[in-house]
Structure formats: structure tokens, C-alpha cells
Amino acid sequence: MTAHEGLRGDRVRVTGPSGRVVLDDLSAHAVPGRVLALTGPSGGGKTTLLRALLGCLPPGLRLAAGEVRWRGGPVPAGRAGRRWRLTRVGWLAQDPASTLDPWRPVLDQVTEALADRGATGTAVRAEAAALLERLGLDPALHARTAGRLSGGQAQRAALARALAGDPPLLVLDEPTSGLDPDCVRLAAEAVRRRRGDPSRVTVLVSHDRRLVEDLADEVTEIAAVAPARSPAIAARRTGTPAVLTVRGLVLDHPAGGPPLISADLTVHAGELVALLGPSGSGKSTLLRALAGLHPPAAGTLVLSAADAAGPLPYLASERSRAQLRRIQFVGQNPRDELNPAHRAVTAVARPLRTLAGLGRTPARARALRLLAELGVDAEHAARRPGRLSGGQRQRAAVARAVAPGAAVLLADEITSALDPATATRLLDLLDRLRGEGLAVLLATHDPEVAARADRVLRLNAGALHEQDLSAHP
């Protein structure tokens, strides 16, 4: 390989926990002076391949096979890799504002990016200000911290940070989903200016066909990989005890008429059960009933967790502390799951204190560790929900649910508001917790999420039917 080959990945395989294949045998080559587009359906792995090429896969994923190279040599790893990305890579993430420090003035951050990429002298700050102004950010806003900017203003600041110093490698990850039209136009103009420059490599990740046709010289299509169920997990469902048993459950329809649901259900320790069904079929109502938030008309619910074995009262208010600890619920809208007055770390620590009996200090320490596992660092953990992204709120809600030692997690469309990379990270954490015995009943409409399940139950016309997985190994 020569120093002119740009960024290259050959026969890349990425795996998750228990060897689950996320990407398999994919190759991509970003040639200097040309624009490579990675395209494909949402959730197909575009961002995952990009992170593999840049040597920064999220926790739980690893490069299991293949090689990635930059200008003829291996992509740096570890501390050297972080320095390489800082000094050589301009990266506009799917959520542009997430690349900014909310507590620092944006002019300082763009100035720092220029300095990291080799700019020197007294004019660096003026150059940063000129770049921000060229991208439409009024000079009166340059001294504001990123957290005090509007969404559109933060987008422009993030784009300026990515473009600062015209980095050797520029990466735009789904720009049409994270930027307003004016910002997309400005980003496209920057890409066009780099064409033909043998010292510049550009990668565009997008499912927007029009943008790809307009900007790309080469296209790598990434099809979704049907995730293989881990043999170890699949085997567990027949060899582990039932942790939740439901018999003769009847849920009345709010408007009267025939029952909304009449069902039997068993969930085993360590099992992921996907609950599918059309909108309005009652998936959310079923989960809320099991959580004690929607009283059924009839039926028995039995929890078999060691310290909470026995019948479950219909109402959460009538359940014991041990029962509340062992069966937890996360709803569709993370705004409804977290108290807006409490910081994220407080929300996660609270059930550790009230349900698991930990003291204030150890509860906070464990909450911070769990949030960090889900990619919510200490700085964001100290924020209230209104200052977190939707994905961060959802991760905090899941952390709060699993923190006290749940035996059963009832999860209602918890990935629907997440970008593919964040959804994968969340599901990978649940895979790890399932290895420790957590059972998950997950309502979803996403076939890629359902493909990770040990069993799939379909709810239709008030009845539950188990779906044959033989066609989905």
C-alpha cells in the first residue's frame, strides 16, 4: 500500500457481545481527492463501519477481522489514535451539537480545533471567528457557551469545528438528519472544495440518495446484517427457570366491547422476548399492566425472583419493595420517565437507595458507573433531563430501571427514538445484563431489534402467538 491510498478498510468484521456479528466482510476505500459515500438503510451499520475505519468502535464492539489503514499504515490505536483523530480528522456527528463542550465558548472550541490541526500565530483566533461568521453564526454569539446556543446555531459551530484547518480527513455522518438545509448546503460546498486535492480525503455517511448523487465519486452500499442470536443465549431459554408467569390475563378495552387482550405469557431468566404487533394492538397496555400501571380485569401474575417470589398484586402501589425492585418498566417517551427537577445521576441513584438499600455515596458511585457504561459521562450525568438529548434521556431511564437489580425489564419501544449507533450500544448492554440473568420483554416495531430476540411474540386481535424463528437463525 502507498501513502496515497487514503483511508482503507479490507474485509472488516465487527462483533458484539458473545461474538454476535454486527458487520461482516465489508471493504471501503476513501481515495484522496475524491468523496466516498457509505449508504444503506438506517441501522444497517454505516456509522459502525465508519467507527471501525477510524479505530473508535463503541464499548462492546470490536474489530474481529480485517484491517483498517490510513495512508498506507495501520490506523493508530489507543492514545495515539485519539491524538490522530484530534489532529487529522474533522468529524461532524449525527447529532452535531454532541461534538461541542456545552460549557465552553464556541469561539474557543473552534480556535482550539485550528491549533490542534497545526495553525499557529496570533491570527488563529481571528481565523476561527471568520470561519464561524462564514457559516452564518453572528459574531455576537461567538463568546457564548455551546449550551446557550439554539439548535441551528450549535449546528453551525459544530460544522465550523469539523472544517477548521481543512483537516486531511473529513467525515460527515448523516448531515441531512442533523443539520438544517442551510448548514447542509454549507457542508456540501466544503466537500466540493476538497475534490481534486490529493492531500484531502472525504467520507460522507448518508441514506439521502440526492446528496450522495450530488457529492460522491464512489459509493459503498451497506446492507443490514441480520444479527445472529448467540447460541449461549438461545440455549438459556430452555435451561433457565421462569421468572415471570402470566396466566389468563384479561385487559379490558378502554372504550368497552371485547377485551383488548386475553393472554398467557412466560418469560425465562436471561431471555430477550420481543413483542410485536400493529399500532393500537395493545403492546404498551400489556407492558403497563405487568408493571402495575394498568390493572387487568382478570388473571394471575407470578414473579419468581429469589427475594420476591409469589403472586404480583395488580397495582404497583400494592407491591412490596422487593417486587418493585425486581420488575421494572421503561416507557416510550424518556421525558415521561425522568423527574425534570432531578439530575440524571440522582434519578439513577434513587432506586438504589430506596429499593436496593444502598447509602447515598455508594448509590451515587454505582449510578455514575452504570451511566458511563451507557455512554453518559459524569458531566452529562450531572444535568437535568431538559439539558440532555433524547438518546441520553433514554439511556438514563434504562440505567435507572436496571440499577436496583431488576429480574425483569419491561421495555416499550426503547430504541425508537435513538440513532442506530446508540440503539446498538443500549441493546449490547442489555445483552450483557441478560448474561447475568436479566429477562427482557421488549415491545418493538423494528425487525432488526426483534432479530436479536430469543423468542418473538406477536400480539394481534387480542391474542399472543409465538412466531417461528427458524427463518431467522
Residue 473 domain flag:
no
Residue 277 domain flag:
yes
Do 313 and 170 reside in the same domain of the chain?
no
Q: Give the cell for residue 449.
A: 431489534
> pLDDT at residue 313 above 50?
yes
Do 214 and 240 reside in the same domain of the chain?
no
Q: Indicate the residue among 189, 221, 253 that finishes a domain.
A: 221
Which regions of 146-271 does DSSP assign to beta strands (E)? 169-173, 201-205, 218-221, 242-251, 261-268
Counted domains in the chain:
2
Do 216 and 240 reside in the same domain of the chain?
no
Residue 2 domain flag:
no
Residue 343 domain flag:
yes
Q: Indicate the residue among 186, 221, 256 that finishes a domain.
A: 221
CA distance 348 to 342: 10
Q: Indicate the residue among 221, 246, 266 that finishes a domain.
A: 221
Do 255 and 403 reside in the same domain of the chain?
yes
Residue 257 domain flag:
yes
Full residue range of the structural domain in which residue 366 is found: 231-467
Residue recorded with cell 450500544: 425
Residue 155 domain flag:
yes
Do 61 and 199 reside in the same domain of the chain?
yes
Counting DSSP H helices and E strands in the chain, the numbers are 18, 19
Do 187 and 323 reside in the same domain of the chain?
no
pLDDT digits 0-9 by tens, 126-182: 999 999 999 888 999 999 998 888 767 888 899 999 999 999 999 998 786 666 677
Do 314 and 435 reside in the same domain of the chain?
yes
Do 116 and 177 reside in the same domain of the chain?
yes
pLDDT digits 0-9 by tens, 227-283: 444 444 443 444 578 889 999 888 876 555 566 677 888 999 999 999 988 766 788
The answer to whether 48 and 422 are in contact (CB under 8 A) is: no
Instruction: Tell me the CA distances in angstroms from 148 to 135, 145, 198, 426, 460, one per residue in order.
Output: 18, 6, 39, 29, 47
What string of H, E and C letters represents the secondary structure of 383-434?
CCHHHCCHHHHHHHHHHHHHCCCCCEEEEECCCCCCCHHHHHHHHHHHHHHH
Residue 345: CATH number of its domain: 3.40.50.300
Q: For residue 335, what pLDDT band results from cuts at 50, 70 and 90?
A: low
Do 243 and 311 reside in the same domain of the chain?
yes
pLDDT digits 0-9 by tens, 281-309: 788 889 999 999 988 888 899 988 766 77
pLDDT computed for residue 106 by the predictor = 94
pLDDT computed for residue 120 by the predictor = 84
| Percent of the chain whose pLDDT exceeds 90 | 34
Do 264 and 373 reside in the same domain of the chain?
yes
Residue 417 domain flag:
yes
The answer to whether 237 and 268 are in contact (CB under 8 A) is: yes
Do 112 and 205 reside in the same domain of the chain?
yes
Do 29 and 145 reside in the same domain of the chain?
yes
Closest CA to 426 of 324, 93, 303, 446: 446
CA distance 46 to 171: 12
Q: Give me the mean pLDDT over the 347-370 stretch.
A: 90
Residue 472 domain flag:
no
Highest mean pLDDT among 322-336, 342-356, 417-431: 342-356
